[in-house]
Amino acid sequence: MGLRSRMLAGFAAQLGRPTGLRGLFVGRMLNRANRGTITAAIDALAPQPGAVAADLGFGGGVGLGLLLVRVGPKGRVYGVDYSPTMVSQAARRFETDVAEGRLRLLEGSITALPLEDGSIQGAITINTIYFIADLGRAFSELARVLVRSGRVVVGIGDPPMMASMPTTPFGFTIRPVDEVVAVAKSAGLALQDHRRAGEGEHAAHLLVFAPLPDPLP
Ligand SMILES: C[S@@+](CC[C@H](N)C(=O)[O-])C[C@H]1O[C@@H](n2cnc3c(N)ncnc32)[C@H](O)[C@@H]1O
């Protein structure tokens, strides 16, 4: 592997699981780059004051702070990420919220969420599913932890744009929007809304899902 490929592979690995000192810089970079998309995702989720919300794969943690503001002092936020570096960075940044019990940070995977069944009213997961091989398992877990009236917003970069990124060959799985929607449906989550965040034809996609109604007896 040439030097350029090695650098791209290293950066791609950091995006998929920010680690160590470089991971801390990547977390900050993600916060700057993705703040707009994450704000739009939380607008689409529209969590009510007092709600229990989650950011799954929170990276640099900008979504955790925005969710804490939206759910207010009576609400609660869970953050799950499988990078120990991101969890400890968020624990330092949100020390007070953690101490007050308004924020719970957990190391774990979206494919095996460390959350109780039916415990979350609203969740976001932004720029994460490229790193998940078993998407059906991830959506089953999202369906399991949501209350029946809950919603989850899945945010992804525009697939054709993502496919052309130099980091993509190094461990990203890019799926068309229709495929993501079909996998969610087979896991029991129906598409409620499809918004774009950002400008132009390559704006990010925000897919809002809700549990499918129970079949009639
Ligand atoms: C590209 S970053 C995106 C972070 C943030 N959501 C954003 O949009 O800025 C991907 C994050 O998801 C986490 N991640 C990737 N796969 C995951 C999984 N299966 N379970 C939990 N976290 C995961 C990574 O550790 C990383 O922090």
Which tens digit of pLDDT belongs to each residue from 127-181?
Answer: 999 999 999 999 999 999 999 999 999 999 999 999 999 999 999 999 999 999 9
Distance from Cα 95 to the centre of ligand 1, integer Å: 21
User: Domains of the chain by range and CATH?
Assistant: 3-211 (3.40.50.150)
211 phi, psi to nearest 5 deg? -55, 135
The residue contributing the CA closest to ligand 1 atom 25 is 17
Q: What is the DSSP letter of 215?
A: P
Q: What is the token pair recorded at 86?
A: 């991101």
- Residues 131, 159 contacting (CB under 8 angstroms): no
User: Mean pLDDT, to the nearest integer, of 6-16?
Assistant: 93
How many Å apart are CA 95 and CA 112, to the nearest integer? 25
Rounded to 5 degrees, φ, ψ at 158 are -60, 120
- What is this structure's pTM? 0.97
The ligand 1 atom nearest the CA atom of 138: 19
Amino acid sitting at position 108 = G
